Structure 1
């Protein structure tokens, strides 16, 4: 069974289940407030999609494929164009960094990604910060991003304003943009 789960033939039911206690609590809330279920379900589904590693992996693959095929191979900024990926949270930025690195390795790409965020976050029992994710301290990110091999910069509440990189060509946004900018939807 373990091998079948690892090879993707079957799902690990222990990763996706609801306890009886949780089920009963939700049922009671639904009876007490029928609209609760719809509101909570929408919130939970949205959070699930945003944070689920498989969803992030698919979005990362689309971004990488688009950027490499439509920007890099078409010689934008003399083939030296760079991209920023704007994310809504540190946790999501970490998952994106892992997904980007895995996919870039899978396609044998010469390019690499960097991640930038403040502080640190415990993910899957491991404390992650810019140094552990990038391999060097956070204050060296903007200089490292100038190197040809780094074409993707994944950011969570950092470098989104006032970041001066002349080779920055494309920005992918996976977060709700502020209404004062005239946007109210995720791009």
Structure 2
């Protein structure tokens, strides 16, 4: 958080003249991060990112969690998000808050139940509700909640498969980092690793990597230059295993099957069968190449895997309007599942 370091430098001289500099800096930093302007800025970033990059995923079912450092932080950030949502007239990112007990801020007492408008025990079910999966939707639509702001609640043991995105506004260390971020790991029939994204306001990447190190042998650096995608696309297409007409037919069928957001499991299975049919010619060409030039086939697989991972991650950060990039991503990630194991 760049604000933190700037404030340390700005406050150092005055703090040393008056009181214990460590206490002064700590209080000044906290006051700044908890200020109305700071909360409004983070609220806007969270809401805008969710609506632009996360909300459409899983056929419009995707949900997000915002992790805060304490109850006052959770309430103030929740209020800032609600204010921004109301100001902009957004109707597609209903927000809830979760914290324990009662909290008094500026002379007003807040509880989770008062802010949400229903008892605490109902929160998991209400947050998990989606109209797309309601077998008997009422004539008056039930409220659909997409974002949950939490303070020391639902960071462990919360099993919500529709969570794809997390906004972290709290220092996470050791096991707490692993348990918190792993809320996104719950599986769903429409969910892939490319749907997952974490926007972290508080932690350094190396600290999170260290927390996970004892559970994983390696970590992967994410691409930082969007232009790399065009290089990787050219690399994939240079193998001449993919045909644009076949890719066009595939993505047309894919969006027709999945973009409505209300497909049943049976419909999804049928759609997958049709989509695999569009992949068969490329699969046949790959198998022929693999039989004669296995090293080249392996290089193609690595290039395609590298492209889909890069696109899946970068698409959370920037909106791509290049149809060829999107076409290769959708076609490529399905084809990778069909390629025979090395």
Alignment TM-score > 0.5, same fold = yes
The match for 1:147 among 101, 123, 129 is 129
Which secondary structure state, in structure 1, belongs to the residue aligned with residue 52 of structure 2? Answer: helix
Off by >3 Å, runs of 4+ in structure 1: 179-183
Deviation at 1:180? 4.5
Aligned to 2:40: 57
Higher RCO (CA-CA < 8 Å; seq separation 6+):
1
Aligned to 1:135: 117
Give the distance between the partners of 1:77 and 1:165, measured in 2 at CA. 13
Aligned to 2:213: none
Deviation at 1:181? 5.7
The match for 1:157 among 145, 152, 157 is 152
Greater strand content: 1
1:70–1:122 distance in 2 versus 1, CA, 3 Å: same
The match for 1:186 among 187, 194, 202 is 202
Give the distance between the partners of 1:132 and 1:63, measured in 2 at CA. 23
Give the distance between the partners of 1:60 and 1:121, measured in 2 at CA. 21
Deviation at 1:49? 2.3
The match for 2:25 among 31, 34, 42 is 42
Aligned to 2:57: 76
The match for 1:30 among 17, 38, 47 is 17
TM-score, normalized by length of structure 2? Answer: 0.42
Aligned length: 154
Deviation at 1:51? 1.5
The match for 1:122 among 91, 97, 104 is 104
Which secondary structure state, in structure 2, belongs to the residue aligned with residue 160 of structure 1? Answer: coil
Give the distance between the partners of 2:129 and 2:86, measured in 1 at CA. 18
1:81–1:46 distance in 2 versus 1, CA, 3 Å: same
Deviation at 1:41? 3.2
Aligned to 1:172: 167
* Structure 1 residue ranges without an equivalent (≥5): 1-25
Matched, 1:105 2:86: yes
Deviation at 1:114? 0.3
The match for 2:67 among 55, 73, 86 is 86
* Structure 2 residue ranges without an equivalent (≥5): 1-13, 131-143, 179-200, 204-342
1:71–1:127 distance in 2 versus 1, CA, 3 Å: same
Deviations 1:47-79 (A, max 9, x none): 11222122111101101101110122xx31111
CA RMSD of aligned residues (A): 2.2
Give the distance between the partners of 1:146 and 1:182, measured in 2 at CA. 23
Greater helix content: 2
